[in-house]
């Protein structure tokens, strides 16, 4: 199914405010009314953008729907909770893949939201099946999927030892990382992650499953520098940290966030994954060295800590021991 055919089906399914039926429009944010109560989105059309030097040809659309708002909103005086609905949306970008397949990029990681009975995934599947009833949307696998969770340890090691992972890409900082141990217990590290933190060393030594990771990096484009900061998941999905995104030639916030998202999805995240894959043979040996070094560091750290604890205990003042009187004092008659 071509992007033009998909767009034509979307044009036939516009949002209907009178019945609050969901539908398709453009991703234009001007007067979108998102988040407001019982309002209509602007009338607009999904658009197809041609490929350029950095991005593939794509269809951009927004799926508008009306959702029940939180209790505190619907309980306001003058509003009937049975009819109050808040305008919401999910942005969708569709690109062509090989073998007549397409890739679908969505603006939310909330599976409950995405897989509503009449939600964006169900509507997309309806569009695809209008051309071929056997068409299915793969809801679990992503074209952006990273090779494996070890990429997060690789990124942390690279940031420490060789932060320039490509001529134009430099890892700046690992500010947070999550981990899951063999018992499926999770832990989150924040405010900077490096090999001086014992809880991170423990996660490495225990070979915990790492990820997602909070990471920032810099891309050189000629003499200019772009900076990106994001939480990256093993499925290739990510959440941008908007305050730490810098594009020298893009000032408007909406434009900056959209372009960053597209650039990460279609160029930078796949490149980082390919760099990791290309380093696989070297990394297989290096990974074991990193884990063993973490074990050695922890052993040395706690050996020194134990010695320091003993020294403090020996040096601390002791209370005098009172000698008991041998003679018993009678209690009296």
Residue 165 resides in a domain: yes
Instruction: Report residue 321 CA to chain centroid gap.
Output: 61
DSSP annotation string for 157-218: HHHHH--EEETTEEEEEEEEEEEE-TT--EEEE-S---TT-HHHHHHHHTT-EEEEEEEEEE
pLDDT per position as a tens digit, 16-27: 999 999 999 999
Which domain does 12 fall in, by range? Answer: 3-129
Residues 78 and 17 in one domain: yes
Q: Phi and psi at residue 99, in whole multiples of 5°?
A: 60, 40
Residue 260 resides in a domain: yes
Of 99, 129, 159, which residue is a domain's last?
129
pLDDT per position as a tens digit, 110-158: 999 999 999 999 999 999 999 889 988 888 889 999 999 999 999 999 9
Residue 312 resides in a domain: no
Residues 75 and 160 in one domain: no
92 Cβ neighbours under 8 A, 6+ residues apart: 60, 61, 62, 63, 104, 105, 106, 107, 120, 124
Residues 184 and 121 in one domain: no
Residue 241 predicted with pLDDT over 60: yes
Residue 5 predicted with pLDDT over 60: yes
- Count of residues making up the chain: 333
Burial of 183 (0-12, 13-18, 19+ CB in 10 A): exposed
Residue 112 resides in a domain: yes
pLDDT per position as a tens digit, 44-91: 999 999 999 999 999 999 999 999 887 665 556 666 667 889 999 999
Residues 166 and 115 in one domain: no
Q: How many domains does the chain have?
A: 2
The pLDDT value recorded for residue 141 is 86
Peptide bond connecting 212 to the previous residue in cis, omega within 30 degrees of 0: yes
Measured CA to CA, the distance from residue 4 to residue 46 in angstroms comes to 10
Residues 154 and 277 in one domain: yes
Residue 250 resides in a domain: yes
Residues 195 and 265 in one domain: yes
The pLDDT value recorded for residue 261 is 98
Instruction: Return the number of other C-beta atoms located less than 10 Å from residue 313's C-beta.
Output: 9
């Amino acid at each position: 199914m071509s992007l033009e055919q998909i767009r034509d089906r979307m044009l036939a399914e516009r949002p209907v405010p009178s019945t609050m039926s969901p539908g398709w429009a453009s991703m234009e944010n001007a007067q979108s009314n998102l988040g407001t109560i019982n309002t209509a989105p602007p009338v607009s059309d999904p658009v197809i953008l041609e490929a350029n030097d950095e991005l593939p040809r794509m269809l951009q659309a927004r799926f508008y729907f009306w959702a029940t708002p939180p209790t505190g909103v619907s309980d306001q005086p003058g509003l009937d909770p049975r009819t109050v609905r808040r305008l919401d949306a999910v942005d969708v970008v569709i690109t062509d893949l090989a073998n007549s397949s397409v890739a679908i990029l969505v603006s939310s990681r909330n599976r409950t939201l995405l897989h509503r009975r009449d939600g964006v995934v169900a509507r997309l599947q309806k569009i695809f099946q209008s051309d071929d009833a056997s068409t299915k949307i793969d809801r679990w696998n992503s074209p952006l999927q990273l090779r494996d969770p070890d990429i997060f340890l690789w990124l942390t090691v690279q940031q420490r030892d060789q932060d320039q992972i490509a001529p134009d890409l430099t890892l700046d900082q690992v500010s947070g990382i999550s981990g899951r141990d063999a018992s499926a217990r999770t832990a989150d590290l924040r405010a900077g992650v490096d090999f001086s933190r014992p809880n991170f060393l423990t996660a490495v030594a225990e070979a915990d499953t790492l990820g997602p990771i909070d990471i920032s990096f810099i891309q050189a484009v000629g003499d200019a520098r772009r900076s990106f900061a994001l939480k990256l998941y093993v499925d290739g999905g990510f959440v941008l940290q908007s305050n730490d995104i810098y594009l020298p030639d893009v000032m408007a916030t909406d434009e900056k966030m959209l372009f960053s998202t597209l650039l990460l999805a279609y160029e930078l995240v796949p490149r980082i994954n390919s760099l990791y894959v290309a380093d696989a043979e070297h990394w297989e040996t290096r990974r074991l060295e990193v884990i063993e070094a973490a074990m050695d560091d922890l052993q040395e750290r706690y050996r020194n800590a134990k010695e320091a604890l003993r020294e403090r205990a020996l040096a601390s003042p002791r209370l005098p021991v009172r000698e008991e009187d041998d003679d018993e004092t009678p209690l009296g008659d």
